[in-house]
Amino acid sequence: MPTRARKLRLVPDYHYVMKLYVTGRNRRSQRAISNLNAICEQYLQGRYDLEVVDIYQFPSSAKEADILAAPTLIKHSPLPARRLIGDLSERERVLLLLDLKKKEDGYAKPPRKPNQAQRN
């Protein structure tokens, strides 16, 4: 039984390394920073390094990281690396993509509406 419990449990000792690319101090950038800070404080409590990069001030950083839209969060560590685009307001989805929550914990994608071809 301990083996199974270990498989289902998320490892809380991982140290997260992330970069958030934003465009100035606009509303969407500020919302992304605020949402990410809240998630980090609640779920990572000191086990993370977060760098916020303003692509207006450092356009070469955005180019090096292949940033096409902002805000964009890149989780470098723990692997696998992930990119999330947007203001990070879909908290459950962000937790899932950052591996801070499993689908079994209650988050599932909403069901798709059937199209006409599937109904007949």
The 10s digit of each residue's pLDDT in 82-109 is 999 999 999 999 999 999 988 765 544 5
- Is the pLDDT reported for residue 116 higher than 80? no
Residue pair 40/100 in contact (Cβ under 8 Å)? The answer is: no
- Decide if 40 is inside a domain: yes
Domain count, the chain: 1
- Is the pLDDT reported for residue 117 higher than 70? no
- Decide if 41 is inside a domain: yes
- Decide if 115 is inside a domain: no
Using CA atoms, how far apart are residues 120 and 115, in angstroms rounded to an integer? 9
- CATH code at 44? 3.40.30.10
Domain that holds residue 27: 2-101
pLDDT in tens, 38-87: 999 999 998 999 999 999 999 999 999 999 999 999 999 999 999 999 99
Using CA atoms, how far apart are residues 17 and 116, in angstroms rounded to an integer? 45
pLDDT in tens, 8-46: 344 457 899 999 999 999 999 999 999 999 999 999 998
- Decide if 44 is inside a domain: yes
- Decide if 113 is inside a domain: no
Residue pair 15/48 in contact (Cβ under 8 Å)? The answer is: yes
Residue pair 87/32 in contact (Cβ under 8 Å)? The answer is: yes
**pTM across the whole model:** 0.75
Bridge partners, 51 (sequence order):
19
- Decide if 21 is inside a domain: yes
Using CA atoms, how far apart are residues 81 and 18, in angstroms rounded to an integer? 9
